[in-house]
């Protein structure tokens, strides 16, 4: 029997989000229904609402979630009802060309549920990143459920489902930050701060946090930044070079998603250094760079999809580090809110008042 639950939808471009009754089908083969316990508000949800990702309105928003598996469909063996899971948007297929080459963190054919969740009038919903977890329950592909230690609080665990994993992974997976490296992170929201925390975890010698908001810079310090730069007041490229012996950082992580901050990242890295773009641009943005500089500065210009994470490898490991007191995931939760406060949370995010607002259900 399909169930009716409450969920937050984005009805159309730039329209305010609202709570609607969502029809959640029983799980079919390879699917699972998850009772959502917590779901963080990510900038990507705001991009969806603004029409910056696609026009497939209405969206069922929310994708940084943890909860308990309620029911599974035929053929599901990796999870069972009662399991505490973090939802991921990389359910690896095992068969695409990336998977077959042993690089499943790039999987080009990730799974989502095949059935659609709908409104009560039958309108099909597009779940954000194939998850849609600003809802009491959601239907996903079973591979989107990653079991972790249930001792962790759901509002903390859920954050690994997107932004915090993207940031930590941008540093430790994509950027390959290692002991003794110098790192700069441009944009210190939830994702950037996670990149700071990930760099700290990986043993970076110097971690320079850059933002236009002093409050964000203060928080970045608590995450492990050794130096901070307010790029509204100071040229960040010069500042990063000054803090790295005049050369630039080994790894610069762009966590804003704008051409001007990408350019800063490009010029603030040392020769043969690495730029990691983890911020998500919008379709109209363009980048212009002298091709000779692209060649002459060498190194690597990389994009980081979801922190190049492998959920089955990275989620349980990071939750264990958290439970051991070696990674303070709780520091990312600025506030917990109710389902009907998502619109307000977008405003607070827009004004830079929060690192993460987390809906608890
Ligand atoms: N690659 C991925 O897989 C992935 C996953 C999740 C989120 N993201 C993206 O990462 C980006 C950051 O997400 P978030 O949730 O941390 O957002 P956020 O709004 O919490 O943080 C953005 C930060 O950038 C700062 N900022 C804005 N303009 C700036 C500028 N010109 N210079 C320096 N700092 C500036 C803001 O003050 C804020 O602290 C977004 O584009 C989001 O869509 C990417
Ligand atoms: Zn694959
Ligand atoms: Zn996200």
- Span 70-105, pLDDT tens digits: 999 999 999 999 999 999 999 999 999 999 999 999
CB 304 within 8 Å of CB 279:
no
- 156 Cβ neighbours under 8 A, 6+ residues apart: 322, 329, 330, 332, 333
- Ligand 1 binding pocket includes 63 (Cβ within 6 Å): no
Ligand 1, from 187, 237, 283, 355: best to mutate by most atoms within 8 Å of Cβ? 187
Q: Which helix (H) or strand (E) holds 214?
A: helix 214-223
- Ligand 1 binding pocket includes 236 (Cβ within 6 Å): no
- Ligand 1 binding pocket includes 59 (Cβ within 6 Å): no
- Ligand 1 binding pocket includes 167 (Cβ within 6 Å): no
pLDDT band at 282 (very low <50, low <70, confident <90, very high): confident
Tell me the average pLDDT of the chain.
97
- Ligand 1 binding pocket includes 216 (Cβ within 6 Å): yes
pLDDT at residue 283, as a whole number: 87
Atom of ligand 1 nearest to the CA of 264: 32
- Span 21-50, pLDDT tens digits: 999 999 999 999 999 999 999 999 999 999
- Ligand 1 binding pocket includes 352 (Cβ within 6 Å): yes
CB 125 within 8 Å of CB 117:
yes
Residue 109 has pLDDT above 90, yes or no: yes
Residue 148 has pLDDT above 90, yes or no: yes
- Span 198-212, pLDDT tens digits: 999 999 999 999 999
CATH number, span 3-161+328-360: 3.90.180.10
pLDDT at residue 159, as a whole number: 96
Atom of ligand 1 nearest to the CA of 42: 15
Ligand 1 mean position, distance from CA 257 (Å): 7
- 136 Cβ neighbours under 8 A, 6+ residues apart: 5, 6, 7, 35, 36, 361
- Span 160-186, pLDDT tens digits: 999 999 999 999 999 999 999 999 999
Mean pLDDT of 334-339: 97
> ∠ CA(117), CA(121), CA(123), 5° rounding?
50
Ligand 3 mean position, distance from CA 194 (Å): 13
- Nearest-CA residue for ligand 1 atom 25 is 187
Residue 299 has pLDDT above 90, yes or no: yes
Query: Which residue(s) pair with 285 in the sheet?
Result: none
- Ligand 1 binding pocket includes 212 (Cβ within 6 Å): yes
Residue 194 has pLDDT above 90, yes or no: yes
Residue percentage of the chain with pLDDT more than 70: 100
Ligand 1, from 47, 61, 170, 189: best to mutate by most atoms within 8 Å of Cβ? 189
Ligand 3 mean position, distance from CA 325 (Å): 24
Ligand 1, from 279, 304, 353, 355: best to mutate by most atoms within 8 Å of Cβ? 279
Fold for 167-305, please state it: Rossmann fold (3.40.50)
Q: Residue 287: how many CB atoms within 10 A of its CB?
A: 12
Residue 343 has pLDDT above 90, yes or no: yes
Q: How buried is residue 320: exposed, middle or buried, by Cβ count under 10 Å (0-12/13-18/19+)?
A: middle
Ligand 3 mean position, distance from CA 290 (Å): 32
- Ligand 1 binding pocket includes 159 (Cβ within 6 Å): no
Ligand 2 mean position, distance from CA 308 (Å): 13
| CA pair distance 168, 282, nearest whole angstrom | 22
Q: Parse the chain into domains and list their residue ranges.
A: 3-161+328-360, 167-305
Atom of ligand 1 nearest to the CA of 349: 19
Rg value, the chain, Cα: 20
Residue 303 has pLDDT above 90, yes or no: yes
Mode of pairing for the β-strands spanning 249-254 and 269-277: parallel
> Which residues have CB atoms below 5 A from the ion given as ligand 2?
93, 96, 99, 107, 109
- Ligand 1 binding pocket includes 341 (Cβ within 6 Å): no
- Nearest-CA residue for ligand 1 atom 22 is 189
pLDDT at residue 347, as a whole number: 96
Query: Which residue(s) pair with 10 in the sheet?
Result: 59
- Ligand 1 binding pocket includes 211 (Cβ within 6 Å): yes
């Amino acid at each position: 029997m399909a169930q009716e639950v409450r969920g937050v939808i984005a009805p159309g471009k730039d329209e305010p989000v609202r709570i609607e009754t969502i029809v959640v089908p029983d799980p079919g083969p390879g699917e699972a229904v998850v009772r959502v316990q917590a779901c963080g508000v990510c900038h990507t949800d705001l991009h969806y609402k603004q029409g910056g990702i696609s026009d497939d309105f209405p969206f069922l928003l929310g994708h940084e979630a943890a909860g308990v598996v309620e029911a599974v469909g035929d053929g599901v063996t990796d999870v069972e009802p009662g399991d505490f899971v973090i939802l991921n948007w990389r359910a690896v297929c095992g068969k695409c060309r990336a998977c077959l080459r042993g690089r499943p963190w790039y999987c080009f054919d990730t799974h989502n549920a095949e059935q659609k969740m709908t409104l009560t009038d039958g309108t099909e919903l597009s779940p954000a990143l194939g998850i849609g977890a600003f809802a009491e329950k959601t239907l996903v592909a079973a591979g989107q459920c990653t079991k972790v230690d249930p001792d962790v609080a759901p509002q903390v665990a859920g954050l690994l489902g997107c932004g915090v994993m993207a940031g930590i992974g941008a540093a430790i997976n994509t950027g390959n930050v290692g002991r003794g490296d110098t790192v700069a992170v441009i944009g210190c929201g939830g994702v950037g701060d996670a990149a700071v925390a990930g760099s700290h975890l990986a043993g970076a010698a110097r971690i320079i946090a850059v933002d236009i908001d002093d409050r964000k810079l203060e928080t970045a310090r608590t995450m492990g930044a050794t130096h901070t730069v307010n790029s509204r007041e100071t040229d960040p490229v010069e500042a990063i070079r000054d803090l790295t012996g005049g050369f630039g950082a080994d790894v610069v992580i762009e966590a804003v998603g704008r051409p001007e901050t990408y350019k800063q990242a490009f010029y603030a890295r040392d020769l043969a250094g690495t730029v990691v773009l983890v911020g998500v641009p919008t379709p109209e943005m363009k980048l212009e760079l002298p091709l000779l500089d692209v060649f002459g500065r060498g190194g690597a210009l990389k994009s980081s999809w979801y922190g190049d994470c492998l959920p089955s490898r990275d989620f349980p490991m990071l939750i264990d580090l958290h439970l051991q007191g070696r990674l303070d995931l709780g520091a990312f939760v600025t506030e917990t809110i109710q389902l009907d406060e998502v619109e307000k949370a977008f405003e607070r995010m827009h004004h830079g008042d929060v690192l993460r607002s987390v809906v608890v259900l």
